Structure formats: structure tokens, C-alpha cells
Chains A and B, each alone.
Chain A
């Protein structure tokens, strides 16, 4: 059983755990080097090739890379990892370490992508399981937004998380509060420098009535 899904309560785009994924769109062809950081230390590097004819998206398991296991970033006959304009996503497949990733182009100076500082267009996809009230902040911006994750119990019908909520996040927040069901996806789209942090401030242990069968909104 993946117990970390139930023990990693908070989410941080700059310190990814089991329930977070960051996504970057690679708009230029070339070779890139992704440096994987686990708990703040560099632990692995992953090469990414972007060229015409590559796949539209790829997923990199940072925990796999950190443990020098096989990095499953290629699963078909494409020579390139990723098509120009394709999406690279970085997630944590196992374990309790917190990860970050920094991607640099091998032919250019500067940083293409840094999960600790998302840029416009980058995405942070999060799944929150633990019911309660959360505060969402941007370490590189201002203000905060609430997130209410309601409690669910077994009801007459099977609980299915609703479609993911999409939120823009940057210098400020577009909304005051989000309401979601547990396991419902949250997709934060950076509109400027962003490190999204989702912090539990008041747990809900189901002392209220809770959800018992209606579909999540």
C-alpha cells in the first residue's frame, strides 16, 4: 500500500511529494538536462531530448531517477523524448522524500524550468486527500487563498472525485476560496513566478455529517 499518499498532507510545488506533479512545456528543440534534488540535495540528472516528431508529453519519476533506477521517459519508437511544444511532467512515484527539479538547456545559459520557481505557463497539479481547511500561498507572490476539502463517507453511491479545478496563481490569486472533494485534482497555472504551497490549517475529522453519496461539485 502507498501509505505516503495518506501521510504527506501538505503540498509544495517546490518540494514535490506523492500527490504533486509539475509540468513544463518545452517550446524549443534541443537537449536538456534535468537536475533532480531530493530534500535539497542534487541526486540525479536526466537527459531530455526535444525534437520534431517526439511525443506530445513525457513523465519523469523523480524518485526513480534519485534511486538510479530506470527512468521511464520513453515508451515508444520516438527517437526524441518530447516533441517541440510537448509537455514534460515531473512527479514522485514512491517514498517520502521531497523533490525539486531544475532543467537547463545544454546549449544555452540560464534555467529552462525550476519547480521551485514556476514561470508563466507552468502547471502544478495537486491531489489533496485529507479533509479540512487549507491555505494556499505563493512564496514568490502575495496574498493567500483558502481551500476547503470536505469530508466524505461511504454513501448510497460510489464517491467519484469531480473534474479537476483549474486556478491561476501568480502575483495574486484570482479567487478567495476553492471548494473541492478529496482526491479531486487541483491544477494551478502559473501566471508569474510561483511556488505554490498548500498547507493544512484546520483538519476536518468528520465530526460533521460529511458527504454520503452526492457527486462532488
Chain B
């Protein structure tokens, strides 16, 4: 039988978990060539909501943690296709056109335009996982060898027993973008082309855009878009640019090794320093943790 037993109810466990969840943050960016265009992202993601269930098989089920993007920008760089006017037939014959008017190509050097989309408000995605609780003995790397435990305590460099939530695997839902992203993409392309043609008068810009046709058709042709732009974006960000893997790895690493659910100083303080006496502390050994379906139990022996 253990010398020390500490238990936290499921409600208390949820409070501990929520604190860990609220501290999660993933900030990253990446760019890559994806077929005929360049795409990238910039993300700043937090986690929110979700449900926690303690299970009597010594695991914890965390479900429907919302991926809450503070920032989710996607950008795509594309080449505007050549746009030519003229070229009509001046001398037609029954055997074909003998002479054509010269063609004047407006974009003969394939200029690049960049489309920048703020997708944060339109993303719905969730993370779920089943985890075990694991313990870890933490020695602060900043603590010099030979430092005594009292000094370490004063400098907040004490050794600690930690409890982590260790996900066995993370299940991330596909990014589900609201339908409005199609409109956003169209507006962004429109603005990008306006930017490209800024020095032309309005009638010339309108003419060029009329010849391009519906912008979304132009974009579809360049990017080879399917009907569902949200699905395309999800695939682009999640799979082609590896954002699913990045989030999965970040969540795994964060819960399993970065932010403990709880931690206990070793030696553990029993009485604070008082009246010129040093604090009373007891060393902790054989620290272990488990869950039942209604509480988390941590046990240890006094060394």
C-alpha cells in the first residue's frame, strides 16, 4: 500500500485538463510548390471546448476539441494566363483565313499575383483522442549540478513529479470550411487582379476582367479546382501542405511531454520555513497515477 494517495474527482480532472488545453498554442507557417502554383499558410491555433471522460480501463477520452484558429491565412500564388486581343480574320477564304489582324497580348510575361485569404473565421475542425496518464520525473535543466534542494526550491528549480496526458493517437477531422470561402476566394482574386492592373483606367480593367470571364472560372482553370472549394482548401492545407500532420504532432507532443496535467515538487513540502527553521520536506518515490471511471488517483511512497 502506498504511503501517499491523492485523488481528484472527474470534475477536478476536467478543470486540470481545461487549464492544459487553454495553454495550447501552435504558431507555424510554411510555403510549398503545389503543382502549377505556390501555396502557403500561416496559422496560430488554440484549442477550445471539448469533452473529457475518465474510463475504467485506465484511459481518458477527450472528444471534440475545437481547433480554434486565432490566425489561419492561406495564400496562393498563381500566374495569370496570357490574355490577347485582336487576331481576328481580315481575309477569310473558303479554305481558311489567309490573313489575320495582329494579336496584342496584354499579359505576355505571365505575371504572378498573390491571393491571401483569412480563413480563420470560417474553419470548423475538431481533434479527439484517447490517452493514458503517464508520470515523468522532471529535473530542470537550468538547475546546476550540486545545487541543494532548498536553494532549488527558492529559485524555482526544484525537481518535480509530473502527470501527463499521453494520447495514443490523435484523430483530426478534415478541415470543414464554410461555403463562403468560395466567395472569399473570388473577391481575393478580383482584388489581386485590380492590384495588378492598378495603372490602367477603370474601363480597361473592366474589359480585361470581362475577357477573363467569371473570376472563379479563371481560378478554377489555373488551380484545377473541383466544385467544392472548401474541400480543395482543406486538402491543400491539410494534406498538400501537411497542416494535419503538423497539428497532430503538435497536439501529441504538447499533451504528452510539454504541459503536465499536474506536478508535485520532490522533495514535497510539508511545512514551510518558520521561526528560523528550514521547511519540512519529504522525498517522493514510486510515483504512479491511474484513473477509474470517476476519479484520478496518484500514489507514491516516501523515500
Q: Which residues from B are CB-within-8-Å of A125?
A: 88, 90, 101
A89: CB under 8 A from chain B? yes
Contact with A along B203-214 (1 / 0, CB 8 A): 110110111111
Q: Are A156 and B214 within 8 A (Cβ)?
A: yes
Q: Measured between C-beta atoms, what is the minimum distance from B92 to chain A in Å?
A: 10
Contact residue among B102, B108, B206, B211 (Cβ-Cβ distance under 8 Å from A91): B102
Residue pair B206, A152 in contact (C-beta under 8 Å): yes
Q: B88 touching A164 by the CB < 8 A rule?
A: yes
Contact of A153 among B101, B105, B107, B210 (CB under 8 A): B210
Q: How far is the CB of B161 from chain A (nearest CB, A)?
A: 66
Q: In the complex, are the beta carbons of B105 and A2 less than 8 A apart? A: yes
> How many B residues face the partner with a CB closer than 8 A?
33
A123 within 8 A of B: yes
In-complex Cβ contact of A159 among B99, B107, B201, B210 (8 A): B210
Give the complex CA separation of A57 and B93 in angstroms. Answer: 12
- A1, B106: Cβ atoms under 8 Å? yes
Stretch at the interface among A28-36, A38-46, A180-188, A191-199: A180-188
The secondary-structure label for the interface of chain B is: mixed
> Inside 8 A of B89's CB, which chain A residues have their CB?
164
Q: Which of A18, A127, A153 contacts B209, CB < 8 Å?
A: A153
Complex contacts, B109 vs chain A, CB 8 Å? 1
Does A204 sit at the interface, judged by CB under 8 A?
yes
Q: Could you tell me if B210 and A2 are in contact, using CB atoms closer than 8 angstroms?
A: no
Residue of A nearest to B109 (CB): A1
Quick check: is A93 within 8 A (CB to CB) of the other chain? yes
Q: Which residue of B lies closest to A6 (CB)?
A: B204
Contact yes or no, B90 A161, CB < 8 A: no
Q: Which listed residue, A89, A151, A154, touches B99 by the CB 8 Å rule?
A: A89
Q: Judging by beta carbons under 8 Å apart, are A5 and B211 in contact?
A: no
Interface residues on chain A, number (Cβ under 8 Å): 46
Binary interface encoding of chain B residues 197-227 relative to chain A, with 1 for a CB under 8 A from any of its CBs, else 0:
0011111101101111111010000000000
List, in ascending order, chain A residues with CB within 8 A of B98's CB: 56-57, 87
* Secondary structure class of chain A's binding surface, majority of residues: loop
Q: Which of B88, B108, B207 contacts A152 (CB 8 A)?
A: B207
Q: In chain B, what residue has the closest Cβ to A93?
A: B102
CA distance A129 to B104 in the complex (A): 12
The answer to whether A205 and B105 touch (CB under 8 A), given A154-B209, A183-B85, is no
Nearest residue in A to B200 (C-beta to C-beta)? A6
Contact B214 A158 (CB under 8 A): yes
- Assess whether A206 is interfacial by the CB under 8 Å rule: yes
How far, in Å, is A169 (CB) from chain B's closest CB? 15
Q: Name the one of A19, A158, A203 contacting B212, with C-beta atoms under 8 angstroms.
A: A158
Q: Which A residues are within 8 Å of any B CB, using their own CB?
A: 1-3, 5-6, 18-19, 21, 23, 56-57, 59, 87, 89, 91, 93, 123, 125, 127, 129-131, 151-161, 163-164, 182-185, 187, 203-206, 210-211
Apart from the given pairs A1-B107, A153-B209, A154-B215, 17 other A-B contacts in the complex at a CB distance below 8 Å: A1-B108, A6-B200, A19-B104, A21-B101, A57-B91, A57-B99, A87-B91, A91-B102, A125-B88, A129-B85, A151-B203, A154-B209, A156-B214, A161-B88, A164-B88, A185-B86, A185-B88
